[in-house]
Structure 1
């Protein structure tokens, strides 16, 4: 793909989002099913082997969107941490799902409006658990799962991120 092709892909989206800003606001979603032995089966609409543009940024929907992969990382980490904490607390969990949803306004990503931030505006995490545990035990379980989940804590308490460029030279 070259710059002309990219502009051609994105032009109708940019026009649509300018004319109808609400259409640029998309809720991305990730779901994981709790598994045995502190595992989580992640459900992907597109396998995350190759990252590409989201359809609202000009992608064709056959490549994994990195923002959705971030939500999947949150779901996987939260589910596995929940499983470990439930095991430690001796809370039997028969099954369930962990769901993450995040709202992205693609006007920011596409540079349509400098007033719109790039990235998630909000992320929601839901634990849907099949358990007979008392509500206060489930509340404590979720509190501890959030406390010890690396991805959750990283998103909640943004770390310093350092970016750099390295020149690669090709030998003849």
Structure 2
């Protein structure tokens, strides 16, 4: 499915009620006038504290808010896995971006979401990272998303448009899939 096929531009009946459409319209005008204003930078920063502890640190997320988030090292590479590890954060980024994208698109499509549950997981063979087997790449080999969406006042075609739109518009999904395969299993229900 192409971007044009999932476009919400032809859904005039939902435009007036969609707060997302209203905000996107304003942003579109701004970005068309000045394309450089569409460039953003997301950030996270780790400032090493307690450097004698090889298994735990803190990452500050977002330059403005500096939200501190404790992270640990996975037990598969020698850590205690007593806090989320970087792989967990990668999965969290994928799941949260995909779910947020579903929310935005469903608002534009006039779909009333009753429930969403997005679970992302990633598979990696850590022998490469530990230099046990140099033929094993040091990277996640695959990722997977399980998506449950329960919606009201919708139909299968519209919900398929929603999922395809999310796949095409989710920045984290599109970034990761360039490097590793992402499979997607959807469970869509209409009430």
TM-score under structure 2 length normalisation: 0.56
What SS does the aligned partner of 2:94 have? helix
Query: Contact 2:99/2:116 (CA < 8 Å) preserved in 1?
Result: no
Unpaired runs of 5+ residues, structure 1, are 10-47, 159-172
Distance 2:117 2:108 in 1: 19
Residues 126-137 of structure 1: matches in 2 within 5 Å?
126-132=146-152, 133-137=154-158
Whether the 8 Å contact between 2:95 and 2:120 is mirrored in structure 1 is yes
The count of residues paired between Structure 1 and Structure 2 equals 116
Distance 1:109 1:139 in 2: 38
Q: Say whether residues 1:142 and 2:163 are aligned partners.
A: yes
CA distance in 1 between counterparts of 2:174 and 2:151 reads 25
Describe how 1:10-159 pairs up with structure 2 within 5 A.
Answer: 49-132=69-152, 133-158=154-179
Q: Which runs of 4+ in 1 moved over 6 A?
A: none
Q: Match of 1:115, SS?
A: coil
User: TM-score, with normalisation over the residues of structure 1?
Assistant: 0.61
CA distance in 1 between partners of 2:83 and 2:151 (Å):
36
1 or 2 for the larger relative contact order (CA 8 Å, sep ≥6)?
1
CA RMSD between the two structures: 2.2
SS in 1 for 2:128: helix
Task: Extract unaligned runs of 5+ from structure 2.
Answer: 1-50, 56-67, 180-191
Distance (whole Å) between structure 2 residues aligned to residue 119 and residue 99 of structure 1? 20
